[in-house]
Structure 1
Amino acid sequence: MLFILKSDLLKVKRKWFWLLVFLGPFGVIALQMVNYGVRYDYLMKQQPDVWAGLLENINMFVAPALLLGMTILASQIAALEHQQSSWKQLLSLPVKRREVFTSKWIIVCMMIFISSTLLFLGTVLFGISLKFSVHDIPIFAVLKNSYYPFFAGIPVLCLQVWMSIVFSNQAFPLSVGIFGAVFSLAAYAAPDWVPWKWPLLIGAYDPLWYVIAGLITGSILFLAGMTDFVRREVLS
């Protein structure tokens, strides 16, 4: 497993993947820079708790950015093998198929987790730059706003990795992922059982419910995808 992970990390080392990992959280924070730059006085009056107001504004863009990042990263990592027609060569090595699938999944998870960490740091630094009180930083709330969407979105990540590996033509998984990201912008009124709504952390339940639902559903989809990959003789 460690050998496969090292191999996959080497494949993405000189690619633009890491730029995308940075661009996601940077884009979310940059949008808020513009938002607060244009409407600072209005936003200060709207929410007495300035940190809570900042988190609400950031949360609006976290879900679509997260889902789009999962889609692109999963597609591009799988495309490395598809474009070079190296699946047969890779699977002919003395490695287990489930480890190959798991390695791709771990790489995408790791990158999204790093993006969530950058979002956490960016949120704190941006709040400080707006001269919000350092002593009043709601660390736990910022952590929830940065990491909860990631855990709640695990089912989408598993689905995108699965589809990206199975389909050599990335048009289908990319279309599904982009549609899901766009859908999340207007998913507030969607039923709570829709996974693309869960990263919003908004609905009839506590945000922790969506995290738990994401982890459980994600585990099921991960096992289903890995089982399907192990049983496939030729990737199409």
Structure 2
Amino acid sequence: MNVLLQVELYKLKRTKIILTTTILTLLALYQGYDFAKMGIEENADEVFRGFLYQGTMAVYSWLVLPLIITVVLAMMARMEHSNNSWKQLLALPVERGKVYLSKLVVGMGIMLYSHVLLYVGMLSAAFLLGIEKIPHEWMLERYSILFLSSFAITGIIFYSSYRFSHFGVPMVIGAGLAFPSMLVANSEKYWIFYPWDYPIVSSMSYVFETGGKNVIMLLVSISIFLLSVFIGYFRFRAKDVL
């Protein structure tokens, strides 16, 4: 498994996946930074939570995070789908199941990198803006819930990326369902049925009414993830021609 992880990391060096993830994350941070400057000019009380955090998450949880998940997983799958590289890879003495899981681990590692980058970037932005009151424990809790709430999207995109050889299929699913998510998130009844809303609601629960469904949301997100990975794992192992 360690060797497979090293191989996947080596492949990433030949792509712009990390660079793309970094740029998209910093774009969301810039939105929050710009919003926070306006809060300072207005002498607002809660500049960090009400402006820097909210301004950043309004873009990151709604659009940037789903795009990062989609682009990263779709591009990783495309490396194998193109030129039918699966045959060459699986001709080696490796277990199919471990190949599948290694790609999932690396993909989720990149998403975790995005969260850490955003967290560090937000602290740096607060320092540059002269914001002294930073709720560290509150931030860690929010980021942890945000990461778990995105599992449903990760599972669906990961499955579709390796289920369909065409690069456009996971891209259409990931990006297409992300755009209307902000509108659906405003619905108190129906947001729970739309996994693309989970990052928005989890990171901005003080803006959107959850109706006490936070735990249900996380359970559904993790369940969708496990089900998608489970189905994809056994389908990947059983398929004769890739």
Aligned twin of 1:181:
178
Q: Are the aligned partners of 2:33 and 2:56 in contact in 1 as well (CA < 8 Å)?
A: no
Question: How far off is 1:209 after superposition?
Answer: 4.7
Q: Are the aligned partners of 1:152 and 1:215 in contact in 2 as well (CA < 8 Å)?
A: yes
Q: Are the aligned partners of 1:79 and 1:170 in contact in 2 as well (CA < 8 Å)?
A: yes
Counterpart of 2:33 in structure 1: which amino acid? Answer: M
Aligned twin of 1:147:
144
- Note the alpha carbon deviations across 1:200-228, whole angstroms, 9 max, x for none: 11422364553343223312221121122
Query: Residues of 1 paired with 2:214 and 2:137: CA distance?
Result: 13
Question: How far off is 1:90 after superposition?
Answer: 1.3
Counterpart of 1:20 in structure 2: which amino acid? Answer: T
Q: Which stretch of structure 1 is more off in the superposition, 172-181 or 50-59?
A: 50-59
Alignment counterpart, residue 233 of structure 2, candidates 209, 222, 226: 226
Q: Are the aligned partners of 1:116 and 1:147 in contact in 2 as well (CA < 8 Å)?
A: no
Question: How far off is 1:49 after superposition?
Answer: 2.2
Question: How far off is 1:130 after superposition?
Answer: 1.6
Q: Please say if 1:171 is aligned against 2:178.
A: no
Query: Residues of 1 paired with 2:124 and 2:144: CA distance?
Result: 17
Query: TM-score, normalising length from structure 2?
Result: 0.87
Query: Residues of 2 paired with 1:28 and 1:137: CA distance?
Result: 19
Q: SS where residue 92 of structure 2 aligns?
A: coil
Q: Which runs of 5+ in 2 are unaligned?
A: none
Query: Residues of 1 paired with 2:196 and 2:81: CA distance?
Result: 27
Q: Are the aligned partners of 2:70 and 2:175 in contact in 1 as well (CA < 8 Å)?
A: yes
Q: SS where residue 185 of structure 1 aligns?
A: helix
Q: Are the aligned partners of 1:55 and 1:145 in contact in 2 as well (CA < 8 Å)?
A: no
Instruction: Write out aligned runs for 1:77-88 (5 A).
Output: 77-88=76-87
Aligned twin of 1:121:
120
Q: Percent identity?
A: 23
Aligned twin of 1:161:
158
Question: How far off is 1:52 after superposition?
Answer: 1.8
Q: Are the aligned partners of 2:36 and 2:47 in contact in 1 as well (CA < 8 Å)?
A: no
Q: Please say if 1:216 is aligned against 2:215.
A: no
Query: Residues of 2 paired with 1:179 and 1:72: CA distance?
Result: 13
Query: Residues of 1 paired with 2:211 and 2:196: CA distance?
Result: 15
Aligned twin of 1:59:
57
Query: Residues of 2 paired with 1:146 and 1:158: CA distance?
Result: 19
Question: How far off is 1:234 after superposition?
Answer: 2.1
Query: In the superposition, relative to structure 1, how do residues 4 and 13 fare at CA in structure 2: closer, same or farther (>3 Å)?
Result: same
Instruction: Write out aligned runs for 1:26-45 (5 A).
Output: 26-37=26-37, 40-42=40-42, 44-45=43-44
Query: In the superposition, relative to structure 1, how do residues 128 and 212 fare at CA in structure 2: closer, same or farther (>3 Å)?
Result: farther
Counterpart of 1:27 in structure 2: which amino acid? Answer: L
Q: Are the aligned partners of 1:199 and 1:210 in contact in 2 as well (CA < 8 Å)?
A: no
Query: Residues of 2 paired with 1:181 and 1:40: CA distance?
Result: 31
Q: Which runs of 5+ in 1 are unaligned?
A: none
Aligned twin of 2:73:
74
Query: Residues of 2 paired with 1:177 and 1:78: CA distance?
Result: 14
Counterpart of 2:56 in structure 1: which amino acid? Answer: I
Counterpart of 1:81 in structure 2: which amino acid? Answer: E
Aligned twin of 1:195:
195
Question: How far off is 1:86 after superposition?
Answer: 1.0
Q: Are the aligned partners of 1:149 and 1:211 in contact in 2 as well (CA < 8 Å)?
A: no
Query: Residues of 2 paired with 1:208 and 1:26: CA distance?
Result: 30
Query: In the superposition, relative to structure 1, how do residues 35 and 177 fare at CA in structure 2: closer, same or farther (>3 Å)?
Result: same
Query: TM-score, normalising length from structure 1?
Result: 0.89
- Note the alpha carbon deviations across 1:174-223, whole angstroms, 9 max, x for none: 10011122122323124313211111114223645533432233122211
Query: Residues of 1 paired with 2:134 and 2:219: CA distance?
Result: 26
